[in-house]
Structure 1
Amino acid sequence: MLPPTMAPRPPGFPAYPPYQYPPGFPPLPPPPPRGPRRAAAVVVTIIALILITTLTLGVTAAIAGQSNAVIGDGAVKSPDDNDGSDVRVNYLEQKAKAELADSAEGLLDGNEDKWLSVYDGSVHDEMKRRYNSLRALRVSSFDYQVVKPPEDKSGGTWALNLGVNYCLGGKKHAKCGPSGILFNTEWTDKDDSFLITRVDESDPNSAGPRPWEVEDLKAKVGKRAIVAGPAKYEDKLNDALSVAESAAENADKYAVYGKVDRYVIFLAGDEEFARWYGIGDPGDNVVGFAIPLPEVTKNGGTKPGGSEVVVHVDRAQANSTEFTATMRHELGHVATLHHSPEHHRIEEDWWLSEGVAELIDHGAPKDAPLKEHPYLRSRDVQEYFKKDKWNGKMDPATPTDDQLTGSAKYGIAFYGVYYLFDKYGKDKFMKYFKKIARNGEDPDKSTKSVYGKSYDALLKEIAKQVKKMAKAA
């Protein structure tokens, strides 16, 4: 799968680098007669890492509008005709912050009128839909930030660039690891009121729009997972939640870098696949994806945040083996990569990330030994070896790979991780994964630190064992 086309970012927003993620989870081979049938479909894992960028907060200031109420018991001076433009800009910024905080509190309290209090009547229908979707997702925090001071657009209209960090599925204001969006708004300053008259969708450069921005969502909430989707898919939510809860319990065993607050999964069709998160339609054979999201920092920049998962309702039925495998694989990515430190991704982390996600789906050696639980890509790996295509390295899958090559690369990654688990143990592997896949540290130094040998030496060791395991399958 090719990277999505990035839309031009709006003025004042940071320039995110292109999403970086594998080309797609390749089709599984037809199952052997002795095993359960598993549909040959593609799971796409988008392990994008949105890196920290910082906004330069420039101020375009001019006196305009008529909003003159005192804010915060006089803490912010109410402007008058003799004040400079900076006074009104500061006043409107503080007024916006106060109104947004009140609105957010209304959202968390289930008070629709209070939520709508910051919005002009012209956008009430849209904001009621967002309110209902966020309430269905059990929104537990919703913290606004004004990331750029108000900009006068003349005639009492002001532009504000906003950010919001949110958490889903917890208790109100409970500590959580949020995800965030950046978006543009317009406000009208008139007759002692300062109200939002336009709300843009979050930009693809901040992984937007999010489903709750653009859909009338229905949701089912479990102990560890939330499954949601447009109202037309409401009848599929119960079955999907059952699978998600089991997959979440499995993924939690690998969430050694920090607990996932709640696994969030959205069910989608073709239209939603093409629209959500700004990635574009990844293709007819794509079953699902996991996408890391940014968190908005106090200075209006971003750092890595949480992750959300999307599964296609028609390509992976909720009660199918393929749906279960998709869910286990994608939640494995969430468990191991959520809120990773900022770093530039390196080529060597591909096989670690995909290999461990495959292992989380299949099961670790002590839980799912290969002799008793055959790995379904084993025949693709064997065929790949027969054609003498493997160079002994852990090369990432690419958009130009044929089906056999792509599947074999995932299979080789699985065998490599499986071997490291089996030979050296889970704890060492997770330490190794943290250094390379989460932190982007030097592979050779990391390998020497954890396994006491060079990266090349470890790859040679793995290659020998991968061939043995594939041959014995």
Structure 2
Amino acid sequence: MEDERQVPRRRARWPLWTALAVVAALVGCVLPTALVAGRLLDPPPRSAGDPAPGSDRTPDGPAARLAGAIGAQLDRQAEALLRGDRAGFLAVAEPAARDDLARQFTSLRALRVAVWRAEPSGEPTPTPDRPGQWRQLVTYRYCLVEPACTPSPVLAGTRWRAGADGPRLVAVEPSKSERTGTRPWEVSELAVSHGPRTLVATTPDQRGRLPALLAAAEAAAVVADRYVVDGVRPDRYRIFYAGRDEWRRWYGGDRPEWTGGYVVTVGGGHHEVVLNAAALRSGGLAELLRHELTHAASLPAGGWSGESAWWLVEGIAELAGSADRPVVGYSGLDEVRRLVAGGWDGGLEGLAPAADAPAGRVTASYGIGYLAVRHLLDRYGEQRLLAFFRAVVHDRRPVADAAREVFGEPWPTLRDDCVAYVRTAAG
């Protein structure tokens, strides 16, 4: 989930609640857009090959030549970033832009950026309220740590001033994709620690949390790796620990108030985890990390959407979060009991809690998902459970077809067995 609000303490352990920002953050979400008054908006339809509005309508006109010159400056900047040349990275910009760029340089280097490519998207357009300046959309593609990764794309607006010695960068505006929102390194200085399987990042004022975060993340990665269903482990689990302001800014914010963490798909097959620092004041870090990293391990490269399989997606993550504890040790059982006793209809497909759901209802929803998945695990084993997950979530097969194919059972019968197990465990 995303967004930082003051999250009230629900009980001694912060529940593993995740609104799965990943549901809407799909690969390809960085769509062509037009920049208007500093905001990225969807453009009107244009015919293939049409130049940008307001540009010279010839392929060798002033706008096209300026785009080429901007591209050359972006190439120089990319080369400087990758070799760690801060002065070279800032050299393409005017003084007013350098503080923001310096912060971005520091954060990307701390994240160990391994690939950085920047390409003009379309042609620049004049800025009416800023004579002599041009707006240019730029697609940035990046990898962290691993140079052989499939890069993640970011579309951002930039402003340039044309001059006799070439274009100079005036400003870079944070990306505003409605699906992924602004990446942490675009707007925050980051302190980062790296391990063999994870990287953890936060703001400098919370640098002291990094050793504990990294240790917990590395331990959680060992668990999450068991839940890879497509044979491809994440090259690194990326975890961002968000304070109050960062929770509101990173990836667009605006998460349900009960959110403790979330996963967002950023393209290139990469998922990033955000943890709500306020939610972890009373503990629960290890459990929450196991839950969220399991989402990053188990979900499709392009993300996931839909509510009918919410119980399965969250049930798998809760299973990992519970760390093989017996069912009687699951901390959400009291809330499950209250929901079952209060007239739960036995449905799994509509289990996802609303954004304004009360704490008990949220915990019970996750608990029922956990118990249903736990029943499938106990009855069929981990290999077949993951095969079922892959068929439903990755291959988007109807649950009835997947149940028949993987378990050899009709889904209505199997669903009734899962519900009976939930009622028995809650009894």
TM-score range relative to shorter protein: 0.7 to 0.9
Aligned counterpart in structure 2 of residue 129 of structure 1, from 92, 96, 103: 103
Aligned-residue RMSD, C-alpha: 2.9
- Which protein, 1 or 2, shows the higher relative CO under an 8 Å CA cutoff with sep ≥ 6? 2
Aligned letter for 1:268? A
Aligned letter for 1:313? A
Aligned letter for 1:60? A
Counterpart of 2:297 in structure 1 is 335
- Tell me, yes or no, if structure 1 residue 310 matches structure 2 residue 274: yes
Counterpart of 2:186 in structure 1 is 213
Shift in Å, 1:136: 0.9
Percentage of matched positions with identical amino acids:
28
- Contact persistence 1:27–1:407 (CA under 8 A): no
Q: Secondary structure at the match of 1:141?
A: strand
Q: In the TM superposition, what whole-angstrom CA distance separates every residue of 1:157-194 from its partner, at most 9, and x where no partner exists?
A: 32211121222233xxx211433322111112210302
Counterpart of 1:193 in structure 2 is 166
Are the structure 2 counterparts of residues 63 and 387 from structure 1 closer, same or farther at C-alpha, using a change threshold of 3 Å? closer
User: How is 1:192-341 mapped onto 2 (pairs within 5 angstroms)?
Assistant: 192-257=165-230, 258-280=232-254, 282-283=256-257, 285-295=258-268, 305-317=269-281, 321-337=283-299, 339-340=301-302
Aligned counterpart in structure 1 of residue 140 of structure 2, from 153, 164, 167: 164
Aligned letter for 2:310? W
Shift in Å, 1:121: 2.7
Q: In the TM superposition, what whole-angstrom CA distance separates every residue of 1:281-318 from its partner, at most 9, and x where no partner exists?
A: 643x54322222245xxxxxxxxx4221222334314x
Aligned letter for 1:379? D
Cα separation, 2, equivalents of 1:145 and 1:84: 20
Cα separation, 2, equivalents of 1:176 and 1:42: 30
Shift in Å, 1:132: 0.4
- Contact persistence 2:337–2:426 (CA under 8 A): yes
Are the structure 2 counterparts of residues 27 and 448 from structure 1 closer, same or farther at C-alpha, using a change threshold of 3 Å? farther
Structure 2 residue runs of 5 or longer lacking an equivalent are 33-44
- Tell me, yes or no, if structure 1 residue 457 matches structure 2 residue 421: no
- Contact persistence 1:392–1:460 (CA under 8 A): no
Aligned letter for 2:348? K
Cα separation, 1, equivalents of 2:370 and 2:384: 16
Are the structure 2 counterparts of residues 306 and 435 from structure 1 closer, same or farther at C-alpha, using a change threshold of 3 Å? same
Cα separation, 2, equivalents of 1:240 and 1:362: 18
Are the structure 2 counterparts of residues 127 and 206 from structure 1 closer, same or farther at C-alpha, using a change threshold of 3 Å? farther
- Tell me, yes or no, if structure 1 residue 370 matches structure 2 residue 327: yes
Counterpart of 2:348 in structure 1 is 393
Shift in Å, 1:118: 2.9
Q: In the TM superposition, what whole-angstrom CA distance separates every residue of 1:31-56 from its partner, at most 9, and x where no partner exists?
A: xxxxxxx4345633423333446536
Shift in Å, 1:235: 1.2
Counterpart of 2:40 in structure 1 is none
How many pairs does the alignment contain?
402
Cα separation, 1, equivalents of 2:301 and 2:24: 10
Cα separation, 2, equivalents of 1:269 and 1:26: 15
Are the structure 2 counterparts of residues 196 and 455 from structure 1 closer, same or farther at C-alpha, using a change threshold of 3 Å? farther
Aligned letter for 2:277? V
Please give the TM-score of this superposition, normalised by the length of structure 2: 0.84
- Contact persistence 1:206–1:294 (CA under 8 A): no
Counterpart of 1:67 in structure 2 is none
Aligned counterpart in structure 2 of residue 50 of structure 1, from 18, 22, 25: 25
Aligned counterpart in structure 2 of residue 103 of structure 1, from 58, 77, 83: 77
Shift in Å, 1:231: 1.0
Shift in Å, 1:103: 1.2
Aligned letter for 1:161? L
Shift in Å, 1:152: 3.5
Please give the TM-score of this superposition, normalised by the length of structure 1: 0.77
**Stretch moving more, 412-421 or 450-459:** 450-459
Are the structure 2 counterparts of residues 463 and 362 from structure 1 closer, same or farther at C-alpha, using a change threshold of 3 Å? same
Aligned counterpart in structure 2 of residue 175 of structure 1, from 141, 144, 148: 148
Q: Secondary structure at the match of 1:291?
A: strand
Q: Secondary structure at the match of 2:13?
A: coil
- Contact persistence 1:273–1:282 (CA under 8 A): no
Q: Secondary structure at the match of 1:205?
A: coil
- Contact persistence 1:179–1:307 (CA under 8 A): no
Q: In the TM superposition, what whole-angstrom CA distance separates every residue of 1:10-32 from its partner, at most 9, and x where no partner exists?
A: xxxxxxxxxxxxxxx9987x6xx
Aligned letter for 1:203? K
Are the structure 2 counterparts of residues 349 and 26 from structure 1 closer, same or farther at C-alpha, using a change threshold of 3 Å? farther
Are the structure 2 counterparts of residues 324 and 340 from structure 1 closer, same or farther at C-alpha, using a change threshold of 3 Å? same
Are the structure 2 counterparts of residues 41 and 409 from structure 1 closer, same or farther at C-alpha, using a change threshold of 3 Å? closer
- Tell me, yes or no, if structure 1 residue 112 matches structure 2 residue 86: yes
Aligned counterpart in structure 2 of residue 466 of structure 1, from 416, 422, 426: 422
**Stretch moving more, 325-334 or 49-58:** 49-58
